[in-house]
Homo-oligomer: A and B are copies of this chain.
């Protein structure tokens, strides 16, 4: 019978689960109409739209993301790459980023490299799933970034040296280090050390430069090198322990709060009082900086805003903005507490 033949072989495009074809069939329209009714891109007769929406509802239809991406040629998603999420620093950045991206209806893919060998390939893979990418710090080599930039992928670099063809954002490092060191000088200290690895992080490198610069301007002895130290409390404590036994300075500028807190512990172990015997400072203003005794003098950075701004910049690029790459530096704030020396109103921050 003809009908049988038809129903068996006629529909070459009949699809399986909840596809646009099923909706079309149920609503008695073509798939084109379903598509139009759903995205409201072109006028559809109200009665038709009604039927379509009803069918959509009854079938609990959800368009296929990959099919749509393929047809549209875009992923409707952004990515963000960071080394780690353990400190509060990156979490805040990611959060600010996610919030803005989500407001623009874009998915957010994260990739934490934590020093993996394959970081480069992972980033390359990530790049295939997104329309734009934010890359933090020294997570991947410049080669990978250049490759992506050359492919035309919108790129925003965070807290790292700019590369050609990509926007970049960072916070004041050299300036904040200068101000912080200047503050310590004003306290009257005359012997300094810097704890952190300037080779491992562009941020740290900038802080070291500002530190050196300030001491130089004040004609105070400048250490030849920063005391190498990974980020983290344990590393800070260990490095400080060696340093403080050997030739303790009067003031210790640490590349971030965790190092500083570790150094504080090491100092206490050695019976040194802070700030009387040793001044200690950090960066980031983590929660513990406020709660430790004495309170840790540090530099607050607008981390959330950093992430949010990166998302906005990316969105502009994705929206077609084609201006020259911009390189923005966000202001920071010196947070004075007691660890850098006695102030008139001690520990005023709390």
Contact = CB atoms under 8 A, between A and B. Distances in A.
Interface of A: 60, 62-67, 69-70, 75, 77, 84-86, 88, 90-92, 94-95, 98-99, 102, 105, 107-112, 114, 122, 124-126, 128-129, 147, 151, 233, 258, 261, 265, 286-288, 290-293, 350
B102 A122 contact: yes
A137 to B, nearest CB: 16
A288 B233 CA distance: 12
Contacts of A124: 62
Contacts of A125: 105, 107
Copies in the complex: 2
Contacts of A63: 128
B110 A98 contact: yes
A95 to B, nearest CB: 4
Contact of A129 (B60, B107, B114, B233): B107
Contacts of A66: 65-67, 69-70, 75
Nearest to A264: B291
B75 A85 contact: no
Given A69-B66, A75-B65, A350-B265, A98 B86 contact: no
B85 A95 contact: yes
Contacts of A90: 91
A85 to B, nearest CB: 4
Nearest to A73: B66
A76 to B, nearest CB: 8
Nearest to A269: B350
A293 B296 CA distance: 13
Query: Interface centre among A64, A102, A105, by most B CB within 10 Å?
Result: A102
A149 to B, nearest CB: 13
A261 B62 CA distance: 46
A265 B265 CA distance: 23
Contacts of A75: 65-66
Contacts of A147: 60
A292 to B, nearest CB: 4
A102 B112 contact: yes
A92 to B, nearest CB: 7
A95 B265 CA distance: 27
Nearest to A90: B91
Nearest to A65: B128
A83 to B, nearest CB: 11
Nearest to A69: B66
Nearest to A91: B91
Contacts of A286: 287-288
Contacts of A95: 84-86, 112
A256 to B, nearest CB: 12
A289 to B, nearest CB: 8
A112 B98 contact: yes
Contacts of A111: 98, 102, 108
